[in-house]
A and B are shown apart, each in its own frame.
Chain A
Amino acid sequence: MNDGKIAVNSTFKKRFTKGMKKFLAQRYLQLFAILGTIFLIVFCYAPMTGIIIAFKDYKVSTGFAGFFTSKWASNNGMKHFIDLFKSSAFPMVMRNTIVLSLLKLIFSFPAPILFAIALNEVRNAKIKRVVQTVSYLPHFISWVVVYGLVFTFLNTSTGVINRVLVENNIISQPIEFLASPDYFWALAVITDVWKELGWWSIIFLAAMAGIDQNLYEAAKVDGASRLRCIWHITLPSIKGTIMVVLILSVGSLMTGGLGGSNFEQSFLMGNKVNYEKSAVLGYFIYETGLVNLRYSYATAAGLFQSMISLVLVFITNTLSKKTTGYGLF
């Protein structure tokens, strides 16, 4: 019995020293891997432990330690969630989030595919390159500037749209595009499509570049029109890419799809006048947390949002794997 223990010990020791040797041999790599991991622990995992304050009555004066020491909230810690679901703002915020996200999915997801197909049909290489280059410029422009452009374009005194409409007597009074709840959804969706259209088309164009040109030649010989070629060759060939992008967009549905623009649009283009249509969950979290300083309540709302996102990612991934065989993980 004793002998056995010693034997186990010695093999363990051997293994350990062997491991140590290997570890020391790769000490530089380990150093940076560990540094990166420390970063993740501090800036990603420490905030995750902070989720606990969604179930507590957190006071800001208690700092980080307060995450753990503050008292549990009433109703078995569910007080803030109950408050959230019962609050009068909640149905409005949820409606805005869901409507905006779905609208963006409906328009922002197919638009780059359509644009890529159109671009792929352009035979003139120069035109193709110029249009493509211009089309993804907005991706690199911040939402702040997009907001500025929208404002410059749509304001009531010098905005081009209002000017053209008024000068041609189509309308008598300039339309308050930005200071009216009626236009916010349309504005949000159009700017979202506008900003990310060119960028996401790159991925689809890349997939199209990989299609075997012989397929098109063969189809041509058979007398197929180009439209038929698009339908029967181009689209099926990029199915995998389309699915991956679809999963990504559905997974990030709560934050506004591919561009993840819900919060930024709400923060920048939203104002007191269009609040009823512009306030989304992300903005609500910011407002209750960092403006009204209801930390626990805002964290509860944040956790609610993360959970829905997580569920969406898993559902779409599973569905996609079952139906098409493509998945992210």
Chain B
Amino acid sequence: MKRLRKDNSGDAILDIIVYVIITLVFITTFYPFYYSIIMSFNEGSDAVRGGIYFWPRKFTLENYKAVMSIDYIYTAMLVSIARTVIGTICSLSFTGLFAYSISHKNLMFRNFYITLMIITLYFSGGLVPYYMVLKELGLINSFLVYIIPNLLGVFNAIIMMSFFREIPDSLKEAAIIDGANDLKIFFKIIVPISTPLFATIALYMGVWHWNTWNDAAFFVTKKSLKTMSYVLISLINQTESAARITETSGALGTTNVHRSKYTAETLRPAAMMVVVLPIICVYPFLQKYFVKGIMIGSIKG
């Protein structure tokens, strides 16, 4: 009896620790987003006074209007959307077909193809030679730099390959007897039964395309070809230096910052929300696919 009680008290402590941990994780994850949202809807000059923690005090849409008036914001959005849609479709097809091909056990030179692919996981040429190759191919300062170098994702190819390998041959046999070629089998049989896989990988690729900024920063100098992520970086850096100027040499920024309805501190979260919005939108509907995807990946590991 005594032992039982002791164990129970231990369990109660454990429960407390458990709930402290998950509450902490929940708040630290949720609140920064929430705080940015309320800041983005608050008047700039008012936000500087502080004390806004849970609700916007002076509600305004000016911040979002200001974001929409940033130079090249519409082209940046267009570029981001275009690269996400086109990039995902192209690399999903390319990676999928490649993965399907090398998933065949009787494919000639299969080991050669797979070895060649695996090596790239552990070794790469590095940034500078990669840049030189892109330059040689004329991809620098071209929209195609967002699409072509990302056609084949090796990690995704491995995940897809291990999925295709598990599909029983019996499913294909009927089609083979009917004289269907491999292409037909892929599109008529494999794709329909692998929808969760394709959805998962498409989501990975889509989110990656939307989020990535390295290529826009390194390989593109034309303003009209920059992506939303890149615009956000330059916006944050701009406001950072602007904020420093106002802090160090007071008078410089004050007059025109305080009079307007938005300031750097509220413009930034508004721009962030514009960048995050598409992801937040697809997130609740599709997060189950994400989880499924990491499972498929971990089976291989």
Residues of A within 8 A of B (CB): 19, 22-23, 26, 28-33, 35-37, 39-51, 53, 60, 63-64, 67, 114-115, 118-119, 121-122, 127, 130-131, 133-138, 140-145, 147-149, 151-153, 155-158, 160, 163, 167, 178-179, 194, 197-199, 202-203, 206, 223-227, 241, 244, 248, 267-268, 271, 285-286, 289-290, 295, 298-299, 302-303, 305-306, 309-310, 313, 328
Asked whether A206 and B30 contact (CB < 8 A) given A22-B108, A305-B126, A310-B123, the answer is: no
The residue that A225 contacts in the complex, of B10, B17, B130, with Cβ under 8 A, is B10
Could you show 7 A-B contacts with beta carbons less than 8 Å apart?
A29-B182, A36-B98, A136-B287, A152-B269, A153-B32, A199-B294, A305-B126
Which residues on B are within 8 Å of A, measured CB to CB?
3-4, 7, 10-11, 14-15, 17-19, 21-22, 25-26, 28-30, 32-33, 35-36, 39, 47-48, 50-53, 94-95, 97-98, 100-102, 104, 106-110, 113, 116-117, 120, 122-133, 135-137, 149, 151-152, 154, 157, 181-183, 207, 210-213, 217-218, 229, 232-233, 236, 240, 243-244, 247, 265, 268-269, 271-272, 275-276, 279-280, 283-284, 287, 290-291, 294-295, 298, 301
Q: Is there contact, CB below 8 Å, between B125 and A47?
A: yes
- Other-chain contact of A289, B15, B97, B127, B229 (Cβ < 8 Å): B127
CB-defined contacts of A302 to chain B, threshold 8 Å: 125-129
Q: Which of A143, A167, A223, A299 contacts B50, CB < 8 Å?
A: A167
Contact across chains for B149 and A35 when beta carbons are under 8 A apart? no
The minimal Cβ–Cβ distance linking A2 to chain B, given in whole angstroms, is 32
Question: Known contacts being A42-B133, A118-B21, is A48 close to B98, with CB within 8 Å?
Answer: no
> Is the pair B22, A118 in contact by a Cβ cutoff of 8 Å?
yes
B152 in contact with A40 (CB, 8 Å) = yes
Given A30-B108, A302-B128, are A142 and B213 neighbors across the interface (CB < 8 Å)? yes
What separation, in Å, do the CA atoms of A223 and B5 have in the docked complex? 10
Q: When the two chains form their complex, are residues A29 and B126 in contact, meaning their CB atoms are under 8 A apart? A: no
Residue of B nearest to A31 (CB): B101
Contact B240 A285 (CB under 8 A): no
Report how far A295 CA is from B25 CA in the complex, Å. Answer: 43
**Complex Cα–Cα for A155 and B236 (A):** 12
By secondary structure, the B interface counts as helix
- In the complex, what distance in Å separates the CA atom of A153 from the CA atom of B240? 13
Evaluate contact between B14 and A142: CB separation under 8 angstroms.
Answer: no
A-B interface pairs (CB < 8 A), number: 283
Q: List A contacts of B151 (CB < 8 A).
A: 39
| A194 vs B147: C-alpha distance when bound (angstroms) | 30
Q: Which residues of A contact B295 (CB under 8 A)?
A: 206
**Nearest CB in chain B: distance from A143 CB, A:** 8
Q: Which residues of A contact B129 (CB under 8 A)?
A: 46-51, 53, 67, 299, 302
- Which chain A positions have C-beta within 8 A of B183? 28
- Also in contact, A226 and B53, with CB within 8 A (given A43-B149, A50-B128, A152-B268): no
Indicate if the CB atoms of A163 and B50 lie closer than 8 Å.
yes
Q: In the complex, which residues of chain B have a beta carbon less than 8 angstroms from the beta carbon of A51?
A: 125-126, 129
